[in-house]
Chain A
Amino acid sequence: MTNIRWKTDNTAAFYDELLTPAGKPRVAARRLVNLLQSLTPEEMSTRRAAAELAINEMGVSFTIYSEGKNIDRAWPFDIIPRVIRGREWDKVSRGLSQRTRALNAFIDDIYNRQRILKAGIVPAEIVLDSSNYKPQCEGFSPRFGAWAHICGSDLVRDKDGKFYVLEDNLRVPSGVSYMLENREITKRVLPELFENYSIRPLDDYPAKLYATLASLSPRDRQRPCIVVLTPGIYNSAYFEHSFLARGMGAELVEGSDLFVGEDDCLYMRTVEGPERVDVVYRRIDDEFIDPESFNKDSVLGVPGIMRCWRKGNVAIANAPGSGVADDKVVYAYVPEMIRFYLGEKPALDCVKTYLCMHEPDREYVLKNLDKLVVKPANESGGYGLMVGPHASRATRAKFAKLIEQYPRNYIAQPTLTLSTAPTFINDTIEPRHLDLRPFILSGKDTWVTPGGLTRVALTKGSLVVNSSQGGGSKDTWIVEDAR
């Protein structure tokens, strides 16, 4: 029998996804916990080995850049799923959909009438002076006013058991293929649970993504020509690019496969000659997408693609310039956006955010560095952030200086505790902190994945869940409530 030995430690300090503070399984997790408790550590290890074998054979990997070399690593996976009740998820899902609608309305407004700036709700300088604001997009509005067609929002659960949005990734969010592969692996290693549980399926994500992208096509065709644009095999998410192209039956292309014709339409080079492309799901950053409009030295993009896009001859997802709303300062204003554009009350909480650019906030942050998490306003991947309670005095001093020098570049938030879930470490089950990244699709309709990618910090006590920094992942189950 495997020992879930941590029920007594400090349970009130964190919310645990599977167990109540008394150490009893939560309703939705009961059958899972019972199964785990019936297995010996050897049986657990056997299942973990089966999962690792499957990951290797399926070639589920991610690439990290280290010591001047690209290393292809097997995807880190914990076999114990995380379970969330369907009824609870439905609320979160509505909140995410609402949020994404507001964010898209915001981006569309910013590049056009700028009503929200004129109304003084969001200070103009934080938007217009941002490096994420792209003048190349001014005066353009994509179909359905949808800019961030694929959004990955990071959620955490604080000790009060409530979900909070931590950030919205609106540029080229990744992780969805791992969410799908995690489910495939769990089906292989814990098949017995799928008989007793009613788990919301995920496999239709590629079909939903296809439908979203197809709805953007400038030409009215039965099967528009959709391509996934990848920077190539050395990108850390190449596995995912290929996975999604396959899942949608789309072409996986690199910049050199595409060119802009004299008619300002986009073409790809095929063995039968040039073929017109309708929709580009690009997985390269704005900066590299078009050397004519952005970074001149980029060889990853396609010269002239921005011209095609502005003429409405091709759809690009996510639309260039969407990153303007992917900024931790802008994040602080999302509840205002929801009220302003939708006239609704925000359905999901977000984390109290101190903007260092505002003097009272800055003073508070500098005084409370040991209690706060300080983050750069527009970096991703968990780099360059400081977790106050865990930081050394020297690090805190370094950040204090940075904040005073570049207040616009930093925000601070209270240190959330991040919920835990039982995780199989060596041969015991121990609590580890985790977050959740659901994906929200926006085109003609809005759609939220049931669950998302759960990332788990495998180091004891750590709050850093990024796979590039030692994070793992778990399958996430949204289960229908028992009747």
Chain B
Amino acid sequence: MRLLSRVADRLYWTGRYMERAEGIARLTQAYTHLVMDIPQGSELGWDILIKILDAGPAFESRYKVYSEQNVLYFLIADEKNPGSIFQSVTAARSNVRTTRDVLPQEVWEQVNELYLYTQEFAEKSVGRRNRHRFLDRIQARCQAISGHNMSTMCRDNAYRFMLLGQLLERADMTTRIIDVGAGTLLDSERHNVSMDPLIWGALLQGLSAMSTYRRQVGPLPEAAQVVNFLFNEATLPRSLKFCLNGMRTELGQLKNHTAAVRHVERARRRLARFDTKATDWDALHPFIDRIQIDLNNLSDCISESWFLPTER
């Protein structure tokens, strides 16, 4: 099936934005739970969320304090933050609106409903009282849409580009969620060793991977094992390896894929070489940074290979 370059571009970004909305919802929800579990006196700061999303400058340009209210507003409802749930959904909707002709009919209706829901409730859901329900709904709706695509779309290029966007964004989000774990452990004053399992448990929850972890690894989430699991478990849909393998498979089926495949292979080799026993911030953070750079380069390469207009 033929696919316009411009449409491929928008589908790819639809995949990314939908996954981003869901990812931010997961991340904020997991972190909120974690904060509630931590005993008084060793509170976690909200700044970590901003830090792992590399959103420090954008945040600080408009907010003075890393308060719960400010950080959550920034992540959930802020129209000026391109990474907020509200903006991701808005961007996904405008992409779907211009690619409706290649998507299943219901997808537009569902994305439009998600947008209307977000528009109505995002701002009201910054406070703890409504937050959980809102984040739950966002995740459920995003999953319903992605499930709909998965069960109705032909495995053609349209599907492929959306999936690539989704996998790339997910790989990125998984590394960031691991970064939260490492980040909370960074500050030794805040840190209390007995909290470790709580932190890693919350992060596994955030990736819907807790019960799989228990069955495959064991009941107590422990740093090195969790990191290894989230990085390398090839059967776990949100592991870094799963996402990279998935992209490798999809890219291989496109014409003119040499350059993009080279980028994904670089990331796969980097992951294979990484020593997952080194779970302290000093080792983990630079690695995650480099993987994120690999992912950025891959995204640029996808854009150059298939989206930019070229006359041959």
Could you list which residues of chain A lie within 8 angstroms of chain B, going by C-beta atoms? 56-59, 225, 233, 242, 245-246, 250-254, 256-257, 259, 261, 268-275
Chain A CB within 10 Å, residue with most, of B2, B101, B255, B311: B101
In the docked arrangement, what's the CA distance between A319 and B105, Å?
31
Encoded as 1 (CB less than 8 Å from any A CB) or 0, chain B from 94 to 122 comes to 10011011000100110011001000000
Q: Is A271 touching B6 in the complex (CB atoms < 8 A)?
A: no
Q: Is A56 touching B312 in the complex (CB atoms < 8 A)?
A: no
A269 partner residues in chain B, CB cutoff 8 A: 4-6, 309-311
29 contacts between A and B (CB under 8 A): A59-B108, A59-B109, A233-B94, A233-B97, A233-B98, A242-B97, A245-B101, A246-B105, A251-B7, A251-B101, A253-B4, A256-B309, A257-B5, A257-B6, A259-B309, A259-B311, A268-B2, A268-B4, A269-B5, A269-B6, A269-B309, A270-B2, A270-B3, A271-B3, A271-B5, A271-B306, A272-B3, A273-B312, A274-B311
Shortest Cβ-Cβ A-B pairs, 10 listed: A245-B101, A246-B101, A271-B306, A269-B5, A252-B101, A271-B8, A59-B112, A270-B2, A271-B3, A272-B255
Chain B interface size, under 10 / 10 to 19 / 20 to 34 / 35 or more: 20 to 34
In the docked arrangement, what's the CA distance between A307 and B311, Å?
18
Q: Judge whether B186 is part of the interface by a CB distance below 8 angstroms.
A: no
CB distance from A56 to the nearest CB of B (A): 7
Q: Is A251 touching B4 in the complex (CB atoms < 8 A)?
A: yes
In the docked arrangement, what's the CA distance between A273 and B2, Å?
10
B97 partner residues in chain A, CB cutoff 8 A: 59, 233, 242
B309 partner residues in chain A, CB cutoff 8 A: 256, 259, 269
A233 partner residues in chain B, CB cutoff 8 A: 94, 97-98
CB distance from A243 to the nearest CB of B (A): 8
Q: Is B6 touching A256 in the complex (CB atoms < 8 A)?
A: yes
Q: Judge whether B81 is part of the interface by a CB distance below 8 angstroms.
A: no
B100 partner residues in chain A, CB cutoff 8 A: 242, 246
In the docked arrangement, what's the CA distance between A4 and B306, Å?
61
Q: Judge whether B272 is part of the interface by a CB distance below 8 angstroms.
A: no
Q: Judge whether B228 is part of the interface by a CB distance below 8 angstroms.
A: no
Q: Is A275 touching B101 in the complex (CB atoms < 8 A)?
A: no
In the docked arrangement, what's the CA distance between A269 and B4, Å?
6
In the docked arrangement, what's the CA distance between A269 and B113, Å?
32
In the docked arrangement, what's the CA distance between A269 and B256, Å?
14
List the A residue with the shortest CB-CB distance to B97.
Answer: A233
CB distance from A80 to the nearest CB of B (A): 25
Q: Judge whether B157 is part of the interface by a CB distance below 8 angstroms.
A: yes
Q: Judge whether B283 is part of the interface by a CB distance below 8 angstroms.
A: no
Q: Is A57 touching B2 in the complex (CB atoms < 8 A)?
A: no
Chain A CB within 10 Å, residue with most, of B116, B254, B311: B311
In the docked arrangement, what's the CA distance between A137 and B208, Å?
64
B105 partner residues in chain A, CB cutoff 8 A: 246
CB distance from B73 to the nearest CB of A (A): 26
CB distance from A206 to the nearest CB of B (A): 11
In the docked arrangement, what's the CA distance between A254 and B309, Å?
12
List the B residue with the shortest CB-CB distance to A253.
Answer: B4
Q: A253-B4, A268-B2, A271-B4 are in contact. List 17 more A-B contacts (CB 8 A).
A: A57-B112, A57-B113, A233-B94, A233-B97, A242-B97, A242-B98, A246-B100, A251-B4, A252-B101, A256-B6, A257-B4, A269-B310, A270-B4, A271-B5, A272-B2, A274-B312, A275-B2
In the docked arrangement, what's the CA distance between A59 and B115, Å?
12
CB distance from B166 to the nearest CB of A (A): 17
List the A residue with the shortest CB-CB distance to B96.
Answer: A59
Could you list which residues of chain B lie within 8 angstroms of chain A, going by C-beta atoms? 2-8, 94, 97-98, 100-101, 105, 108-109, 112-113, 116, 157, 161, 254-255, 306, 309-312
Interface residues of A, dominant DSSP: mixed
A252 partner residues in chain B, CB cutoff 8 A: 98, 101
List the A residue with the shortest CB-CB distance to B306.
Answer: A271
B112 partner residues in chain A, CB cutoff 8 A: 57, 59
In the docked arrangement, what's the CA distance between A269 and B306, Å?
9
In the docked arrangement, what's the CA distance between A251 and B161, Å?
17
List the B residue with the shortest CB-CB distance to A248.
Answer: B101
CB distance from A223 to the nearest CB of B (A): 11
* Contact of A251 with B2 at beta-carbon distance under 8 Å, contacts A242-B101, A271-B255, A274-B312 already known: yes
B94 partner residues in chain A, CB cutoff 8 A: 233
Chain B CB within 10 Å, residue with most, of A225, A233, A251, A272: A272
Chain B CB within 10 Å, residue with most, of A56, A269, A271: A271
A245 partner residues in chain B, CB cutoff 8 A: 101
A250 partner residues in chain B, CB cutoff 8 A: 101
In the docked arrangement, what's the CA distance between A259 and B311, Å?
8
Q: Is B109 touching A58 in the complex (CB atoms < 8 A)?
A: yes
In the docked arrangement, what's the CA distance between A251 and B5, Å?
11
B98 partner residues in chain A, CB cutoff 8 A: 233, 242, 252
CB distance from B140 to the nearest CB of A (A): 18
In the docked arrangement, what's the CA distance between A191 and B161, Å?
40
In the docked arrangement, what's the CA distance between A271 and B78, Å?
34
CB distance from B111 to the nearest CB of A (A): 9
In the docked arrangement, what's the CA distance between A270 and B308, Å?
10
In the docked arrangement, what's the CA distance between A261 and B98, Å?
26
CB distance from A65 to the nearest CB of B (A): 18
B3 partner residues in chain A, CB cutoff 8 A: 270-272
A270 partner residues in chain B, CB cutoff 8 A: 2-5
CB distance from A279 to the nearest CB of B (A): 14
CB distance from B251 to the nearest CB of A (A): 12
Q: Is A271 touching B157 in the complex (CB atoms < 8 A)?
A: yes
In the docked arrangement, what's the CA distance between A275 and B2, Å?
8
* Contact of A56 with B310 at beta-carbon distance under 8 Å, contacts A269-B4, A270-B3, A272-B255 already known: no
In the docked arrangement, what's the CA distance between A246 and B99, Å?
10
A225 partner residues in chain B, CB cutoff 8 A: 2
Q: Is B4 touching A273 in the complex (CB atoms < 8 A)?
A: no
B4 partner residues in chain A, CB cutoff 8 A: 251, 253, 257, 268-271
In the docked arrangement, what's the CA distance between A150 and B306, Å?
35
In the docked arrangement, what's the CA distance between A58 and B108, Å?
8
In the docked arrangement, what's the CA distance between A416 and B92, Å?
48
Q: Is B6 touching A254 in the complex (CB atoms < 8 A)?
A: yes
In the docked arrangement, what's the CA distance between A272 and B8, Å?
11
In the docked arrangement, what's the CA distance between A253 and B306, Å?
16
A242 partner residues in chain B, CB cutoff 8 A: 97-98, 100-101
B7 partner residues in chain A, CB cutoff 8 A: 251
A268 partner residues in chain B, CB cutoff 8 A: 2, 4
CB distance from B224 to the nearest CB of A (A): 42
B306 partner residues in chain A, CB cutoff 8 A: 271
A57 partner residues in chain B, CB cutoff 8 A: 109, 112-113
In the docked arrangement, what's the CA distance between A269 and B8, Å?
11
In the docked arrangement, what's the CA distance between A250 and B102, Å?
9
List the A residue with the shortest CB-CB distance to B112.
Answer: A59
List the B residue with the shortest CB-CB distance to A232.
Answer: B98
In the docked arrangement, what's the CA distance between A271 and B9, Å?
9
B109 partner residues in chain A, CB cutoff 8 A: 57-59
In the docked arrangement, what's the CA distance between A59 and B312, Å?
38
List the A residue with the shortest CB-CB distance to B113.
Answer: A57
In the docked arrangement, what's the CA distance between A270 and B309, Å?
9
In the docked arrangement, what's the CA distance between A269 and B9, Å?
12
